[in-house]
Amino acid sequence: MLNNITFGQYFPADSFVHKMDARFKLLMTFALIVFAFVAFNFASLGLVAVFTVFVLLLTKIPLKMYFRTLKTIFIFILISAVLNIFYVTDGTLLFSYGIIRIYTGGILRAVFVAVRIVLLILISAVLTYTTTPTSLTDAIESLLKPLSKIGIDTHTFAMMMTIALRFIPTLIEETDKIMSAQKARGADMENGGLIKKIKSVIPILIPLLVSSIRRAKELADAMECRCYHGGKGRTRLKVLKAGRRDVVATISVCVLLTGIILLNIFI
């Protein structure tokens, strides 16, 4: 595959974050997500926000791309925020109509929740935008390695994930092609009731299923022809290596954690 672009999500750029070891990136993404939940007050959440924005800028990916991710789940953010408005009864009463009562505490809570969700999305977007799926699965395999001690086949698991990810774009392309072909025969996928819509999926699903099975067979043959026999004694072309970058990143995340704890306690 050209340039390892196998997933629509990956956004190539030459940046500090792109060059980090995928394992560290993965762990740090988890850490930041946990931090966003651990931050109790606006001060500590603000600190996480500042750090996240700093990371976003570090990735050298146009901020437009991040906005686009946010846009797709804007409704979800809105609903969670609005629900919180009605559940909190702290602070002064701002507005009341029948059973609807809105307090200042509710508004603050809504903003807090919205910011938290936005941060969660941005943090995970950084991971998927800056890491190719292959290095991500490599990282997962490497991090799961201890599990192989208790008899879990981590290599096969990672290989399955790699193959699944690798074939997502292929499948999308294939679906597109089959859809176009059926549309050329007058298939109507937009109009009609539920039953008609379900029926209209069949001409796409069956050819897709047939070709997926064919593809799986071909891939298995191709792998066997190249003597693939599982993970035993297998070495890698690209070995994940932690560098100075990762140390710097780890230290800054640790500093961030300290900051959050201090802000949580003292403010």
Binding site for another protein (CB under 8 A): 5, 11-12, 177-178, 180-188, 202-204, 206-207, 210-211
C-alpha span between 191 and 189 (Å, rounded): 6
Q: Kindly tell me which of 125 and 204 has the beta carbon lying closer to another protein.
A: 204
Smallest distance, another protein to C-beta of residue 204, A: 8
Give the integer Cα–Cα distance in Å for 93 and 83.
17
Distances (CA, A) of 1 to 90, 155, 250: 56, 21, 32
Nearer to another protein by C-beta: 4 or 180? 180
- Min dist. Cβ of residue 120 to another protein (A): 24
Smaller CB separation from another protein, 13 or 50: 13
Q: For the CA atoms of 27, 28, 30, 32, what is the dihedral angle to 10 degrees? A: 170
**Helix, strand, coil % in the chain, rounded to nearest 5:** 75, 5, 25
Q: How far is the CB of 57 from another protein (least distance, A)?
A: 18
As measured in angstroms, the least distance from the Cβ of 75 to another protein is 23
- Assign residue 186 a region: left if phi > 0, alpha if psi is -120 to 50, beta otherwise? left
Using the minimum distance from each CB to another protein, give the nearer residue, 188 or 221: 188
- 170/211 with CB nearer another protein: 211
What is the H or E stretch that residue 159 is in? helix 154-184
Q: Minimal distance in Å, beta carbon 151 to another protein?
A: 41
